[in-house]
Amino acid sequence: MARIVMKFGGTSVAGLDRIRNVAGRVKREVDAGNQVAVVVSAMAGETNKLLGWCQALSALHDAREYDAVVATGEQVTAGLLAIALQEVGVEARSWQGWQIPIQTDNAHGKARIREIDGSDLIKRMGMGHVAVVTGFQGIAPNRRITTLGRGGSDTSAVALAAALKADRCDIYTDVDGVYTTDPRIVPSARRLDRIAYEEMLELASVGAKVLQTRSVELAMNEHVRVRVLSSFQDLPVDAETGTLVVDEDEIVEKQMVAGIAYSRDDAKITVRRVPDRPGIAATIFGALAAQNVNVDMIVQNIAADSTTDMTFTVSKADLPRARMALQEVKPAINYIELLEDPNVAKISVVGVGMRSHAGVANTMFRALADKAINIEVISTSEIKVSVLIAAEYTELAVRALHTAYGLDVA
**Interface ranges with ligand ASP (CB under 6 A):** 9-10, 41-42, 47, 73, 135-136, 150-154
Q: Does 73 bind Mg ion (CB under 5 A)?
A: no
3-class secondary-structure state, position 401? helix
Query: How far apart are the C-alpha atoms of 174 and 8, rounded to whole Å?
Result: 9
Nearer to ligand ADP, 232 or 285 (CB): 232
- Binding partner of residue 150 among ligand ADP, Mg ion, ligand ASP, none, CB cut-off 5 to 8 Å per kind: ligand ASP
Shortest distance, position 102 Cβ to ligand ASP, whole Å: 14
> Which residue's CB comes closest to ligand ASP?
153
Query: How far apart are the C-alpha atoms of 96 and 74, rounded to whole Å?
Result: 8
- Binding partner of residue 182 among Mg ion, ligand ASP, ligand ADP, none, CB cut-off 5 to 8 Å per kind: ligand ADP
Q: Does 138 bind Mg ion (CB under 5 A)?
A: no
Nearer to Mg ion, 38 or 271 (CB): 38
Nearer to Mg ion, 9 or 118 (CB): 9
CB 181 within 8 A of CB 398: yes
What are 267's strand-pairing partners? 314
CB under 8 Å, gap of 24 or more: what pairs does 181-187 form? Answer: 181/208, 181/259, 181/260, 181/261, 181/262, 181/398, 181/402, 181/407, 182/208, 182/261, 182/262, 182/398, 185/262, 185/394, 185/395, 185/398, 185/399, 186/398, 186/399, 186/402
DSSP per-residue codes, 342-353? --EEEEEEE-GG
Nearer to ligand ADP, 160 or 210 (CB): 210
- Binding partner of residue 179 among ligand ASP, Mg ion, ligand ADP, none, CB cut-off 5 to 8 Å per kind: ligand ADP
Upstream peptide bond of 236 is cis (omega within 30 degrees of 0): yes
Q: Does 152 bind Mg ion (CB under 5 A)?
A: no
Nearer to ligand ADP, 261 or 284 (CB): 261
Sequence-distant (≥ 6) Cβ neighbours of residue 148 within 8 angstroms: 104, 110, 111, 112, 113, 136, 137, 138, 155, 156, 212, 214
Shortest distance, position 83 Cβ to ligand ADP, whole Å: 21
Shortest distance, position 312 Cβ to ligand ASP, whole Å: 26
How many chain residues interact with Mg ion (CB under 5 A)?
Answer: 2
Shortest distance, position 366 Cβ to Mg ion, whole Å: 34
Beta pairing class for 35-40 and 3-8: parallel
Query: How far apart are the C-alpha atoms of 197 and 200, rounded to whole Å?
Result: 5
Nearer to Mg ion, 208 or 377 (CB): 208
Nearer to ligand ADP, 184 or 366 (CB): 184
Nearer to Mg ion, 38 or 368 (CB): 38
Q: Does 97 bind Mg ion (CB under 5 A)?
A: no
Nearer to Mg ion, 9 or 259 (CB): 9
**Which residues of this protein are in contact with ligand ADP, per CB under 6 A?**
9-12, 41, 151, 173-175, 178-179, 181-184, 208-210, 259
Q: Does 151 bind Mg ion (CB under 5 A)?
A: yes
Query: How far apart are the C-alpha atoms of 128 and 135, rounded to whole Å?
Result: 21
Q: Which stretch binds Mg ion (CB under 5 A): 26-34, 109-117, 149-157, 241-249?
A: 149-157
> Which residue's CB comes closest to ligand ADP?
9
Contact positions with Mg ion (CB under 5 A) in 5-24: 9
Query: How far apart are the C-alpha atoms of 309 and 84, rounded to whole Å?
Result: 59
Sequence-distant (≥ 6) Cβ neighbours of residue 28 within 8 angstroms: 235, 236, 237
CB 243 within 8 A of CB 194: yes
| CA-derived radius of gyration, the chain | 23
- Binding partner of residue 42 among ligand ASP, ligand ADP, Mg ion, none, CB cut-off 5 to 8 Å per kind: ligand ASP
Q: Which stretch binds Mg ion (CB under 5 A): 150-158, 256-264, 305-313, 376-384?
A: 150-158
DSSP per-residue codes, 127-139? TTPEEEEESSEEE
Closest CA to 100 of 84, 114, 80: 114
Shortest distance, position 44 Cβ to Mg ion, whole Å: 10
3-class secondary-structure state, position 373? coil
**Which residues sit at the interface with Mg ion, rule CB under 5 A?**
9, 151
